[in-house]
Structure 1
Amino acid sequence: MVYHSSFVNEEGITQACGCPLLPLKSHIRGPAPISDPGKTDIIDEAITFFRANVFFRKFEVKSPADKLLIYSTLFINMALKRLEGCRTLAEGTKAIINLGLEKVPVPGEPGFPFGGLFALPQSQQEADLFRNYIKQLREETSGRLLNCAYRPNGTPNKWWLAFAKRKFMNIVVP
């Protein structure tokens, strides 16, 4: 059974490209509203549900927040793929920083993985808002993922890194 996002009826949430810009528990500057540190955010859900959702080839979108969950799941898969060869936390951190420096494509641009899932931006401002939100989401996800992928002593958690070999929704991760 696919796990869906619990952020179903979020009132007053800004949207960009048909995707809700949900609050994040983040210290990184960006357009995302700040979430209550005691509450679960979309990144917590994505990391928690990743190991179950990565096995599915199809994902029925039941709410706009599911789009964000799908994107986050693919990004986690991509990040784990980059961490696969890193034997220490320092190497993993460097690989994740390099991943964070990559250009973030928006719907309609080459390299965006979910062409039909997200609406095309109606203006350059909407494209920039979406790009900046996704960049903030990716950076925050990367930081939290390092805590899962590596043990406190800095060695890789092979149980987590084994999921790098999985293809989410039959998408080949570079």
Structure 2
Amino acid sequence: MHMLSAIYLAVVSIVPVYHSSFVDDEQITKACGCPLLPLKSHIKGPAPVSDQGYGWNVSFFKELMILFYSRNMCNFYADRTDIVDEAITFFRANVFFRNFDIKSSADKLLIYLTFYINVALKRLEGCRTLAEGTKAIINLGLENVPVPGESGFPFPGLFTLPQSHREAELFRNYLKQIREETSGRLLSVAYRPNGTPNKWWLAFAKRKFMNVIVP
């Protein structure tokens, strides 16, 4: 697994950090400065439903194309992905970076999701079957989801503090929804169809995105 990480480290040393393709849109509702972007999801929550279908997983071949070629290639996929797809697709490149130059408010959400994937993979470390991994992810989903200003919220200053209880709960519910959606899609790539761990993913459980210690 260490060799796999070394290979990716060599790759990301020659490519820039990957940013979200979603641009700032005044029509998108925001909470704590975070855009509540549409999701391809059946999960109940405040996120608008994307009209692009439901969550999909980019094949390893397509991921390599995105990784090795111009980031303009991302535009080819932009009309068929949501922010969760982007976070999962870019995770194994972006997780190596200690700094992230924010280009848009969607990048803030991408940062949060990248860290969450980091946390989820840490929980999956040692889970040798899909059943064990699913149980670990369910337990993660039962944990408290803090919002800016509360203890345990990562990246102080990334988002603005809620101006009301309503805004705080709106953001909390959105984070719960997007974390649950991310968890489900992550399980489908972290484990193979036969239920065994995918070393190309679980090898990254030891990484620390932006040098933040994973709880």
Please tell me the TM-score bracket, short chain as reference.
Answer: over 0.9
Higher helix proportion, which one? 2
Structure 1 residue matching 2:39: 3-state secondary structure = coil
- Say yes or no: does 1:149 pair with 2:190: yes
Counterpart check, 1:114 vs 2:129 = no
Aligned residues: 174
Superposed CA offset, 1:79-121 (max 9, x none): 0000011000000000000000100000000000111111000
Secondary structure of the equivalent of 1:108? coil
RMSD: 0.7
Corresponding residue for residue 26 of structure 1: 41
Distance in 1 of aligned mates of 2:152 and 2:26: 31
How many angstroms apart in 2 are the aligned matches of 1:114 and 1:120?
12
Residue 10 of structure 2 corresponds to none
- CA shift, 1:36, in A, is 1.8
Instruction: Say which is worse superposed, 71-80 or 8-17, in terms of deviation.
Output: 8-17
Tell me, what secondary structure is at the counterpart of 1:33?
A: coil
Unaligned runs of 5+ in 2: 1-15, 54-79
2:21 — aligned with what?
6
Q: Does the residue aligned with 2:138 lie in a helix, a strand or coil?
A: helix
Alignment of 1:20-169 (within 5 A): 20-38=35-53, 39-169=80-210
| Larger-Rg structure | 2
Cα distance between partner residues in 1 of 2:99 and 2:51: 32
TM-score, scaled to structure 1 = 0.98
For the 8 Å contact 2:24–2:106, the answer to whether it is kept is: no
Percent of pairs with identical residues: 82
TM-score, length-scaled by structure 2: 0.80
Matched, 1:16 2:31: yes
- What's the secondary structure of 1:122's corresponding residue? coil
CA distance in 1, matches of 2:32, 2:145: 14
Runs of 4+ off more than 2 Å = none
Deviation of 1:169 after TM superposition, in Å, equals 0.2
Cα distance in 1 for residues equivalent to 2:23 and 2:90: 16
Partner Cα distance (2:84, 2:26) in 1:
19
Amino acid at match of 1:81: K
Q: CA deviation at 1:9?
A: 3.1
